Chain A
Amino acid sequence: MSGGVDSSVAAALLVARGHEVVGATLKLWGGPSDSGCCSVADVEDARRVAQQLGIEHHVFNLTEEFERRVVDPYVEEHARGRTPNPCIECNRSIKFDRLLGRSERLGFDRLATGHHARVTAEPAGGHGGGGTGGRPGWRLRRGTDAGKDQSYVLSMLGQEALGRVLFPVGDLTKEEVRRYARRLGLRTAAKPDSQDVCFIGRAEGRHGFLSRRLDLHPAVLVDGGGRSVGSVDAVELVTVGQRRGMGHGTDGRRRYVTRVDVPGRTVTLGSATEALHSSVLLAAPTLSWVDTPIAPGAPAVAQVSAHGRPVPCTVHRDDAGVVVRFELPQRPVAPGQTVALYDARDPDAVVGAGIAS
């Protein structure tokens, strides 16, 4: 229970269905936070909702683990010019690892969250292109409300975790969630969704946060011919494919980052088309599959950001991992970003995920 309306209603639905429910809020970040996720005010909101639902509420202090497994890697990745998604890391190592383990040890049957996603039980005889591979198993699917779907940030989950989680609001639209909360008189009914990374305040931003933990280095902006055309304050914050802050070329058209060389402190700019990539390599150690790995050469649908447009692709084996070949060239996927793969024949269903190398 993060203190948001989704987890509030998730708890409420489970209580209504007659389950024995205990609410837990995670204290993850001890520093300043205005994201609306898990600050003291949010803990109080979650606690109050739990009281309104008549269930026990606990606050678990996982700040040290969060620092070690989410924040430190976030900083280190940036030092290497990579762009990680800390919310995915938090799901992977904190919520669906540490917390899931704790719920099991305490004797609970399931861990539920307010994510907009669905888990379905699939009978044997599933699709050949990936997924349950013909055996009965669990499928992770997009939430009913396409605009709020969070399957992307859950795409690393496998059978073991999926068999122990519940996503009660995955079947509802956001409007239905809020309506349910209003009907129950929950104080979080009208609370705005948290938008930003929970440990980075709006005022300081990513730059401010990282500058306090890392030396950030200026870099030269060069065009395709190697001529210097400007500079940036922090090469570690520049993402390949980035348009923001890169201005226009002499031809009057927007410029895009085509290459970032962190040690060489150089950012290469090009046109929109020059910046497009036709594939991305997902490093082998970062790959996860909902069930069986996708067959080599199989078609899939790739989503490269939390609310990005899904794009058709084919997935191929490589020594270093898996290569996702887009049907049409795309804005590049920054190293460190997660690519979620969906079943080409059942595009709501997640097949697996990996991190761009």
Chain B
Amino acid sequence: MAQRSGAARTRSRLTLRLMAALLMATTGLAAFVACQPKPLDPREALIARGRDLFFNETFDGNGRTCGTCHRQEENLALTPAFIATLPNDDPLFVAEFIPELRENFENPRLMREFGLIQENQDGFDSLATRFNMRGIPHTLALGTSVQSPAGPRTGWSGDGAPADGSLRAFAVGAVIQHFTRTLERVAGVDFRLPTDEELDALEAFQLSLGRQQDLTLPLPLKGTVAARGQAIFMDDGLGKCNICHSNAGATTSLGGQNIGNSNFNTGVEDLPDHPARLTGERVPRDDGFRTPGDSTFNTPPLVEAADTGPFFHNNSVETIEGAVAFYSGRAFNNSPSGRFLAGIDPKRVGIQLDATQVVAVAAFLRVINALENVRQSIAELQKVDSIGFFDRDRGLELLQRAAHETDDGIAVLSGAGLHPEAVAELVRARELTRRAVGSLINRRGYAGDAKAAHARARGLLIQEGP
């Protein structure tokens, strides 16, 4: 009896252990499955493929990728300050270490000093004399800025892409211009052209960057100077900015009708003391759209302007205040665009803003840029919530992107002494994001706290809705 009872106890214990083991295994399996990277939907997968191509694919060329010039940590552009941090063997400097590209491919001095890239929009027949020196435009908010009734407008002068001129075709022209191993530019020898699948992915990725829609101005801004700047910006009789940069975007609004992205000759090429020309290096006059050009350049969006300087197609102005002041100067007011504005003005005035007004408009641009930084940071931090424990690399990438945006928000506000309390919240958000990067088990917690700090910063910049 006692033996039977002992055997029954042993069986019972064994059963319990088995059940416990089964329970632990099931729980462990469930946790393992929950922590696995979630599969991307087809659109997200295409964008991820495009991102990989953009930053890693050299197309069998000289080693450059799209990301060589459009750096993630530089708002998909490039500044001389960042260039100065790069090692000498960075593919950006191929003209300095690939003998076949030493002449007539880039101007290393102008690249390092002013972030200028050599372009041959008007043809490759006279490489020594016929070229343009242009800055690197960011690729944010392309979905709101490329289309126009006259067809797509890409690059600084609207004619950056070969073939059908579309954003999808842009990569083909970029590979030919910038990725080549030699100046012969033979497809299949000096580079390979992107496939249709790669062009689809690159386009999807580029269209996914930044804002997907324009703002609706006016915004209920809290800052006194920025609010005044917004009023000047929108005043068609004073700042007149909103005519060509409707809602601080890249489309033109005339008499209440939006006519899409447009090209204008604003006289930037007529600026005196253009920094690159002061060096004595050859910097031919850039004739803009078409060949021969009509001296027009297309309108960039302004929401992203404050953290993507230097400004204009030739990086001729370093600060956002300088860029706003340009429109009250002689070069603009004597240009076809300046004369057009004066022609339709009852007082025959183009744009004449005083220093306080210039600073106010710039403050407005800084604040809407910071609001966009906050929006982007929150969006990246939110994505951290939805990724699995084992998808750590992706989580870190999202956190780093959030951190870059936060840094930009801090820089654009503090650069003009704007909203110190909001800056303090952004600094907090930056620190929390940094902690999230370093945390193994509380990444989401820190990311959530960073989001909250961003939300508080936003609340200090703008009246929130009910």
Please say whether chains A and B are actual partners in one complex. Answer: no
